[in-house]
Structure 1
Amino acid sequence: MKLKNCSDVLVMGAGPAALCIASELIQQGLHISALASHPPKKPWPNTYGIWAEELESLGMASLLGHRWQNTVSYFGKDVDKNEPNPVLHEYDYGLFDQASFQNALLEKCAGLDWAIETAEDIRFVDQITEVICSSGNTYRARIVIDASGHRSPFVKRPNQGPVAKQSAYGVVGKFNSPPVDKDQFVLMDFRSDHLTEKELKDPPSFLYAMDFGEDLYFVEETSLAYSPPVSWSTLKKRMLARLAHRDIQITKVVHEEYCLFPMNLPLPDRNQSLLAFGGSASMVHPASGYMVGALLRRAPDLAKELSESLSIEPPLNSEALSKKGWNVLWTKELIQRHRLYQFGLKRLMSFDEALLRSFFSTFFRLPKKDWSRFLANTLPLPELILVMLKLFTISPLKVKLGMIGVVIT
């Protein structure tokens, strides 16, 4: 076994979460080490979307590879309006330029070498934390941040029953006919006229789609959150049936995307000596599935707190440092907001296809400042409660009953 020099912070992982927190820690002048199962320059496999205004507020709009002003959703014939017309969001949406985003974070991490290792165990010895790897190497730090994703075996969390996961299957490619209008982004297409009566009784799914220009499009069939999750094969079948119903066929596949991540993962045990960030810290938004905005907003505060805590004399041990970090990462307000979102998700998971369409049709009738901040998780707790009450007030009776757990068939 070979012991490595002790660093201030060891970051585990090489995805967006790991790069976000590592880059902010470096800006604080801390001695950082990093460990991951693959090089940090390896391209990220999935696309990351965000409302443009959310990224503009962080001064990072230049990282968008695509931006759409024509943003819409389809919910079929609305139960109240009986209109098939799209909902116009009038709010810009964007996709990160994956390479630019990744390179921007790597540049902020200049000089940091990632050890390409597989962690097998983590132990806490005296003041520090040790990460033991399959190679026999042991890496030491005053505190370790696990940013390796929701599958991490090292982060302790309570067992609160089955974990619901959002799943999606998508294709970037060319088509015999445009699947969306020119320069259009479709957040949710819940139209279900291509489904059989039997399929309508299965967990619902919607199409997320966009025009990339030059006859290139991205279409992705997505389910909200279910346990067990809707399979990729089912989603692919539904997507192809949806397209075929409109006489659309894929003529060239440029890229296939497979997504699967938990939406209601319990919050970690905040008394443990291991700190986490990103998916391993349950930072996925339970209502929208988004996380990158939260990473960018919350990493600076966590890095600043750790920098200040690491300078305290006499030195704090890993347990005390972790406690400081958890208290910043999950404040009492953020915990309460997270619980409200999880409650809402649990209710939505009980909705059938028609009720879900009615719910979302109603949701986007809220003022834009309300629904946009709801989806970004930037509403202070009192405002979040008011928005949820407002949504309940304007909802049709069946949706109201569904929200309180009474589902009429």
Structure 2
Amino acid sequence: MRPTSATVAVSAASLGLATAFVGAPPAARTACDRRTWSPTLTYEPSISAKAITGRTRTRRFSLAASVPPAQQSSPASSDECDVLVLGSGPAARAISTLLASSTSNGSGGFDVLVADANFDRRWVPNYGVWQDEWESVREVYASFGQPLGDACIDRLWSVTDCFFGGSFDIPVDYRMRLDRPYCRVDRDSLRRTLSPESEVDVLNEGEGAARYRVVRANHISKATAVNVYSPAGSLSHDESGSTVMLQAKDGETIQVRAKVVVDCTGHESKIVLKDDRVKSNPPGFQIAYGVLAKLDESSIPDTNFAGPYSKEAMTLFDYRTDHFPDGSNELYKAETAPTFNYVMPLDSNRVFFEETSLVARPAVSFEECKERCMTRLEHLGITVSEIEEEEFCYIPMGGPLPAKDQRVVGYGGSSAMVHPSTGYHLCRAMMGAGSVARVIRDELSSPDFNPDRAAARAYDAIWSPSNIGQRNFAVFGGEFLMKQKVEGLRGFFDGFFKLPLEMWAGFLAGWPGLPNNDKHETWSARLLFGLTFVSKLPPAVALDMFLSIIGYSISEGVALPQSVTPLLGLPDGYEYKPKSAEQGDVAAKLEARRMIEESSTEEVIPVDFEEQVEV
């Protein structure tokens, strides 16, 4: 006799919450899907009850996974990959390149799809890096079979200059010279190097070395809770991977199936949530107005200088304020909300000037930075004949880390990887891509691939407990800098660069694998740095720092003391911890479900469910 069927709604309480949840097919549910679904229950009376009426009989049901599709139109196309990377800035292309590469030890690459509707857009920022840090990054990429050629650097200065005069008896025209080479990255060359050959003009622009694929579309999701997104069905996770809906500029939708999703869309990510369980101040902001200018040097006696700036040196800081009249409102604003000039002399009479607010909350305006830049240049006798480019730089610094247990891996700005005291990011993101790519590649190669474990290990590679401790130390540094007037900043940095180079360079690096970072990776190294640093500061700044340490520790909790003592242990990290649902009863049900789905003899999935019914 052919069984009849009926569709009834079964509550999670009737079947057991875990059973009801895992019953939905993977492609149709999210990790915490709250959509109402109606499983199809197939009913067949027991033989003894078929010919008997008026008695109690047992009805036995089988639960078939029948879930209505998400309330959205069907995608125009679909794709599948090992890793989906969202975004196409330096962090995105760096990690995509390493994930897709065939390494020097013979390890093959994985299928990586980069999604960004603006993939062809040029990178805007002028990136500056310390030469030794860049060389360490090159070594990592060479180990993945992805060399970063000499063309990625278009200018090298053998020395770096700073001006901190005007406070603590430092003459206004005093120049501090640092014997550490600095480089300007050729952003176009680096972008091409980290692009697939098919995406660059090989004849005119050089050969792309990366092996990932590209789709010009963006995700359409917004996280409403950890692993929950709107609109429903736009991004969902299951036990084998994730399904992401993308949309191109023309409105065409593409559904992508990936084992791992990496979000590199930046600080304002819509799908990587921040951790609200750990006390954290909101980020500070680095704001800068930059101008690539051609100078009129017709009346300049020595063209080896642009004003006071030697063209053989890169000027990292000019914190002087003598370009404003005494007692003026402009001077008051410059002293209470300080900015500095950052100078990159390029070829001939071309120079990049950038007036920068290092870190502030609230942010200094772009207009204020522009006005100060032009006033400074005029005061220094620097005449601009042509402006080739303008740059508007906005960098959130500090703030909370990503929330734990997220399936989407935030990388770069979306994972708060910017140095919280300095704003440095490029070398940190490119160096970190190596360790993150290794753990993701390792997980993808595992015969028992687990996407939750892969995401947790990736986050742990970014923010290990040790690295979080080092970041917490630097976060305090950013908070201290934000409260300083220009006098305090001059004294701070004058003392900072009087430290041994290994100490100050390690603080500026602030990332595992970069040169001199070992001088800051442990609590004892950070404590030694702090004690040595205070001894180099002007007494007024040293006292302010001492009082700030006490006040910050009282108001913000254990983060700072934990970073300089072993007594409070390490911060909580992102290490993978198997969930209870992966063990015992629920794990067994999941295994049974998988095996039944693969079976050719059954089309329905039995569930213990008996109901006494009067017939």
- Give the TM-score, by structure 2 length: 0.63
Residue 42 of structure 1: how far off its partner (Å): 2.8
Q: Does 1:163 align with 2:283?
A: yes
Residue 82 of structure 1: how far off its partner (Å): 4.6
The 1-side partners of 2:395 and 2:109 are apart by: 33
**Aligned residue for 1:115?**
215
Unaligned runs of 5+ in 1: none
Residue 132 of structure 1: how far off its partner (Å): 1.8
Residue 246 of structure 1: how far off its partner (Å): 1.9
1:228-307 alignment runs, 5 A limit: 228-307=362-441
Render the CA deviation track for 1:341-364: whole Å, top value 9, x for unaligned: 001110111111111111111111
Residue 200 of structure 1: how far off its partner (Å): 3.6
Residue 406 of structure 1: how far off its partner (Å): 5.2
Equivalent residue pairs, number: 405
Q: Which has the larger radius of gyration?
A: 2
The 1-side partners of 2:363 and 2:98 are apart by: 34
Unaligned runs of 5+ in 2: 1-73, 102-107, 139-147, 197-207, 222-234, 298-305, 511-516, 550-615
Describe the shift of the 1:80–1:202 C-alpha distance in structure 2 as closer, same or farther (beyond 3 A).
Answer: closer
SS of residue paired to 1:84: coil
The 2-side partners of 1:49 and 1:344 are apart by: 21
**Aligned residue for 2:142?**
none
- Residue of 237, 259, 264 corresponding to 1:142: 259
SS of residue paired to 2:168: coil
The 2-side partners of 1:109 and 1:22 are apart by: 11
Q: In the alignment, is the contact (CA less than 8 A) between 1:22 and 1:109 conserved in 2?
A: no
Q: In the alignment, is the contact (CA less than 8 A) between 2:283 and 2:399 conserved in 1?
A: yes
Q: In the alignment, is the contact (CA less than 8 A) between 2:81 and 2:257 conserved in 1?
A: yes
Render the CA deviation track for 1:127-168: whole Å, top value 9, x for unaligned: 221222243322121110001111111111035443211010
- Partner letter of residue 217 of structure 2? E
Q: In the alignment, is the contact (CA less than 8 A) between 1:183 and 1:213 conserved in 2?
A: no
The 2-side partners of 1:98 and 1:154 are apart by: 27
**Aligned residue for 2:543?**
401
Q: Does 1:45 align with 2:124?
A: yes
Q: In the alignment, is the contact (CA less than 8 A) between 1:204 and 1:353 conserved in 2?
A: yes
Q: Does 1:131 align with 2:244?
A: yes
- Partner letter of residue 93 of structure 2? L
SS of residue paired to 1:213: coil
- Give the TM-score, by structure 1 length: 0.93
Q: In the alignment, is the contact (CA less than 8 A) between 2:275 and 2:404 conserved in 1?
A: no
Describe the shift of the 1:271–1:395 C-alpha distance in structure 2 as closer, same or farther (beyond 3 A).
Answer: same
**Aligned residue for 1:356?**
489
The 1-side partners of 2:527 and 2:194 are apart by: 35
Describe the shift of the 1:246–1:117 C-alpha distance in structure 2 as closer, same or farther (beyond 3 A).
Answer: same
Describe the shift of the 1:80–1:201 C-alpha distance in structure 2 as closer, same or farther (beyond 3 A).
Answer: closer
**Aligned residue for 2:323?**
194
Describe the shift of the 1:57–1:212 C-alpha distance in structure 2 as closer, same or farther (beyond 3 A).
Answer: same
**Aligned residue for 1:383?**
525
Residue 83 of structure 1: how far off its partner (Å): 6.3
- Partner letter of residue 119 of structure 1? H
Q: In the alignment, is the contact (CA less than 8 A) between 2:491 and 2:541 conserved in 1?
A: yes
**Aligned residue for 2:345?**
211
Q: In the alignment, is the contact (CA less than 8 A) between 2:112 and 2:213 conserved in 1?
A: no
**Aligned residue for 1:20?**
94
Which stretch has the larger CA shift, 235-244 or 61-70?
A: 61-70
Q: In the alignment, is the contact (CA less than 8 A) between 2:480 and 2:548 conserved in 1?
A: no
**Aligned residue for 1:334?**
467
- Residue of 72, 82, 101 corresponding to 1:8: 82
The 1-side partners of 2:338 and 2:444 are apart by: 48
**Aligned residue for 2:112?**
32
Higher relative contact order (CA 8 A, sep 6+): 1
Q: In the alignment, is the contact (CA less than 8 A) between 2:285 and 2:359 conserved in 1?
A: yes
The 1-side partners of 2:396 and 2:460 are apart by: 23
Which stretch has the larger CA shift, 178-187 or 318-327?
A: 178-187
Q: In the alignment, is the contact (CA less than 8 A) between 1:175 and 1:249 conserved in 2?
A: yes
The 2-side partners of 1:291 and 1:97 are apart by: 16
The 2-side partners of 1:110 and 1:350 are apart by: 44
SS of residue paired to 1:225: strand
What is the RMSD of the two structures over their aligned residues, measured on CA atoms?
A: 2.0
Percent identity over the alignment is 29
SS of residue paired to 2:527: helix
The 2-side partners of 1:50 and 1:254 are apart by: 22
Render the CA deviation track for 1:371-406: whole Å, top value 9, x for unaligned: 112111123223233222210122122111221345
The 2-side partners of 1:371 and 1:46 are apart by: 25
**Aligned residue for 2:137?**
58
The 1-side partners of 2:359 and 2:319 are apart by: 15
- Partner letter of residue 532 of structure 2? K
Residue 45 of structure 1: how far off its partner (Å): 0.8
Q: In the alignment, is the contact (CA less than 8 A) between 1:19 and 1:109 conserved in 2?
A: no
The 2-side partners of 1:299 and 1:243 are apart by: 39
